[in-house]
Structures are given as C-alpha cells and as structure tokens.
C-alpha cells in the first residue's frame, strides 16, 4: 500500500466568503438540485459526492476551508434534500452516468472528484466508467462496497433509516457509536456537523440510495482506476473500519493512504488539516505525486 507524505501548504487556507449558486436541473426526467462555488476556471473544478441521506450542505465546513480560487460543484442525490426521489430504483453505474450528464449541463469537461462514505463508492464508479472526465480522485471514509470489512451489526442497524437526521436527541445518543472519533466524547459535535441535515429527507429516496449499493463492489475494476488517488480515513471509524482504506490502497495502482486521528466525519470536524492535504494533493504536479507515492505519512 502506498502511504505518502504530503507537504504543508505554503499559503494558509482561509474560510471561503463565496455564496453558492443554486441551480435545479432536469436530466433524463430526474430533477437534481445543484450548487456551484465559482472560481478560477483555469483550475480543475472539484466535484463533491455525499454520504447516504446527506444533503449538499453537509460539505459546507470543508468547502469553507478549501482554496477560494477552486471551483466546487455539489448536488443532492435523488431522494435527498431538494432532489425528489426517482420514479424507479437505480444503481451506481446509472448514477455515475447521470452525474456525467449533470457536468455536461454546466459545461465541465473534466473534474477532480471527492466522495465520502456512500459517495466514495459513487466516486469510484465515476472514476472507472467516466474515466476521461475524472482527473484526480479523493476517497474519504469509504470502502469497496458489498465486499469489505463490515461494521459491527449493532452499528449498521442504526443506518437503516434516516432517523438520525430528523431527531437531534436520537443523533446525540448514537453519534459516538456510529461516527466515532471526537463524537464519542462530545456528541454535540454531531448536532453541529449535521445541523443543516434536519429537513428534506425522503424515506423512499433513502431506501433507494441504500438499494443502489446492495451487491455492488468496486474490487473487480479498482486495478484499472489509473487516476492519482488520495485515500483519507479515520483511525476510529465504526462505520468503515480503517483496514478498508488499506484494501483500497492496495487495489488502486497510483494511490496513497492518510490515516487521520478522528472518526467517520473527521473531514467535517477536523476540516483545516484535511483541507490542506486535499489542496496539496489536487495542486501537486504529476511528477511530485509519483515521487512521493512510496513514502510514509
């Protein structure tokens, strides 16, 4: 497994002052809510793919820490937030095609992609089946799908419904158990991280999102994912045990793994450090990525 050291950014990142431009698209009959933070079009835009049941606003703490000059695209998966549930079930390859058409609507030929949790599965699928459109790949707190080292059944049972998004008291009771990291000691962090997620949840859409990943695995195609890939995972992630990052790193040829000290949502609660790492990775020239690939973090 390639575990790489990445330099600290030379220029400190500062909270973004940009307001996202919201736009509702209709693609193949499916309504999709999107948001774009405009930036320098000479840089490759960054496309964010969210976890199960999570609205595009969940990424805001990370977006606020990324470079203001980087253009960022977010969207609500069908059945989440302002994107209504689809008429029929879908699979990840179909969702990857839908995302490609969404990019066509904005005129983006090529993007970098960051996916967290369920969105990390979609990001893997997109990088493989839409390979010409994906320059670099960031996988956060995610795994290879149905064939992976699973969470404890007690943890998985709490993911069957979106109740945690709707019921703040329930979220505080289970946050440490399902998300780990800092939320074990301060469940209030979960309420703050997910405060924008308490409305707009369609239970039918949630179940469709669960179904989209049932039986899906990226293991057969990961050796053919050629994009430079940064894999981020927490050392206390009850949902996606840390060893899954090692599996991803061993299968994706040009990848490196960074293990951070937090849980499943560490990218939201430890934003500045991980934002620096993501920016360094996305901004590095190809030669630097190759030369540091074998060093230890």
Spatial distance between the Cα atoms of 215 and 173, rounded to a whole number of angstroms: 30
Which is catalytic among the residues 16, 83, 117, 255? 117
- Does 117 participate in catalysis according to the annotation? yes
Report the C-alpha dihedral over residues 79, 127, 92, 85, rounded to 10 degrees: 10
Spatial distance between the Cα atoms of 183 and 103, rounded to a whole number of angstroms: 35
Closest by Cα among 12, 112, 122 to 70: 112
Run of H or E residues at 111: strand 111-116
| Pairing verdict, β 46-49 and 72-75 | parallel
Spatial distance between the Cα atoms of 36 and 195, rounded to a whole number of angstroms: 21
Which residue in this structure is represented by tokens 């090529």?
A: 110
Say if residues 39 and 70 touch (Cβ distance below 8 Å): yes
End-to-end CA distance of the chain: 12
Catalytic residues, by residue number, are 117
């Amino acid at each position: 497994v390639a575990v790489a050291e990445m330099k600290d950014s030379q220029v400190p990142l500062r909270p973004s002052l940009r307001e996202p431009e919201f736009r509702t698209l209709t693609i193949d009959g499916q309504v999709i809510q999107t948001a774009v933070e405009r930036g320098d079009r000479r840089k490759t835009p960054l496309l964010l793919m969210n976890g199960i049941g999570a609205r595009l606003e969940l990424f805001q703490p990370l977006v606020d820490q990324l470079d203001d000059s980087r253009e960022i695209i977010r969207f609500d998966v069908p059945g989440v937030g302002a994107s209504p549930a689809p008429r029929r079930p879908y699979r990840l390859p179909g969702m990857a095609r839908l995302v490609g058409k969404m990019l066509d609507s904005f005129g983006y030929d090529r993007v970098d992609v960051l996916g967290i949790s369920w969105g990390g599965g979609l990001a893997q699928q997109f990088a493989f089946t839409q390979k010409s459109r994906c320059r670099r790949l960031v996988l956060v707190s995610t795994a290879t799908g149905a064939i992976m080292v699973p969470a404890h059944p007690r943890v998985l049972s709490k993911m069957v419904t979106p109740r945690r998004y709707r019921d703040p008291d329930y979220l505080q009771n289970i946050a440490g158990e399902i998300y780990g990291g800092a939320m074990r000691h301060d469940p209030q962090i979960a309420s703050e991280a997910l405060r924008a997620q308490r409305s707009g949840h369609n239970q039918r859409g949630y179940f469709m999102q669960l179904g989209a990943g049932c039986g899906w695995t990226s293991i057969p195609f990961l050796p053919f994912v050629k994009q430079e890939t940064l894999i981020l995972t927490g050392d206390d992630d009850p949902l996606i045990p840390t060893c899954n990052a090692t599996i991803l790193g061993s299968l994706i040829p040009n990848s490196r793994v960074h293990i951070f000290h937090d849980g499943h949502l560490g990218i939201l609660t430890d934003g500045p450090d991980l934002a620096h790492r993501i920016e360094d990775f996305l901004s590095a020239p190809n030669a630097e990525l190759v030369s540091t690939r074998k060093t230890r973090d």
